[in-house]
Amino acid sequence: MRKHLYCCMITFSLCFYGLAYGSGKEESPILPASAFDNDVAFLKKYGDVIVLKDPSGQSRIAVMPTLQGRVMTSTAGAPSKLSYGWINRPLFEAGEISEHTNAFGGEERIWLGPEGGQFSIFFAAGSAFTRENWYTPRFIDVEPWDVVNQTEQSALFTKEATLTNYSGATFQIKLNREVRVLDNRAALSAIGVPEDARLTSARVKVVVASVMQPWSDYR
């Protein structure tokens, strides 16, 4: 009997807190190390950027379709507030792409495995498990994903690819990835945080559908 690997769904939330509890006192403004809008302007030099926001327009996240729908950074407040993501600016500016892997940064991304072992998707069959032979699949490293749908609060991405693992099994896969900014009040209530805090929350849903050779061939 042929067996197939069916769909699996992963849903999780990323929460970033700007400690904006009301103190009743006027505080001096603190200049951010790197403002959200500044980071977005930088990223736009190197690819498309989608900025998603909650209904208030305060909580925002920057997503790059050119980097697999990766969440690059977020903010919990107005344009002058802090940008929470780490962006590897020198790598973007260098314009050099490694054939092994590229650490562009960001807050959340898709990743697949296994990385090593007989079923690895990072090493060619028969190669030694060394850094020199490590190759991150391009579609989760540097290739763009298609934008299927986009609203002010969410974006849906998709990608089709072919993978061959260390044992020679070939996978035809399609991935659908949705990134959504949650309503601030509902998100805070769900985790028991006071409503006078500011939350940036991105819900990321990844659906992976794979079809492969019979399991018995690769035991």
Q: How many whole angstroms separate alpha carbon 155 and alpha carbon 177?
A: 8
H helices of 46-102, in order, are 89-94
User: In this predicted model, which residue has the larger pLDDT, 7 or 94?
Assistant: 94
Q: How many whole angstroms separate alpha carbon 99 and alpha carbon 137?
A: 10
Kindly state the average pLDDT of the residues 192-208: 59
Kindly state the average pLDDT of the residues 120-143: 96
Closest residue by Cα to residue 197 from 19, 28, 61? 19
Q: How many whole angstroms separate alpha carbon 143 and alpha carbon 121?
A: 16
Kindly state the average pLDDT of the residues 127-132: 95
Range name among 71-85, 144-158, 186-200 with the lowest pLDDT average: 186-200
What percentage of the chain exceeds 70 in pLDDT? Answer: 70
Closest residue by Cα to residue 60 from 27, 33, 85? 85
Phi then psi dihedrals of residue 78, to 5 deg: -70, 175
Confidence at residue 79, expressed as pLDDT on a 0 to 100 scale = 54
Distances (CA, A) of 147 to 66, 67, 157, 177: 10, 12, 5, 10
Question: Cis omega (within 30 of 0) on the bond before 114?
Answer: yes
| pLDDT tens, residue by residue, 92-124 | 999 999 999 999 999 999 999 999 999 999 999
Strands (E) in the chain, as ranges, are: 8-18, 50-53, 60-64, 70-75, 146-150, 154-164, 170-181, 198-211
Confidence at residue 198, expressed as pLDDT on a 0 to 100 scale = 58
| pLDDT tens, residue by residue, 12-24 | 344 443 433 333 4
Per the CB < 8 A criterion, the answer to whether 171 and 206 are in contact is no
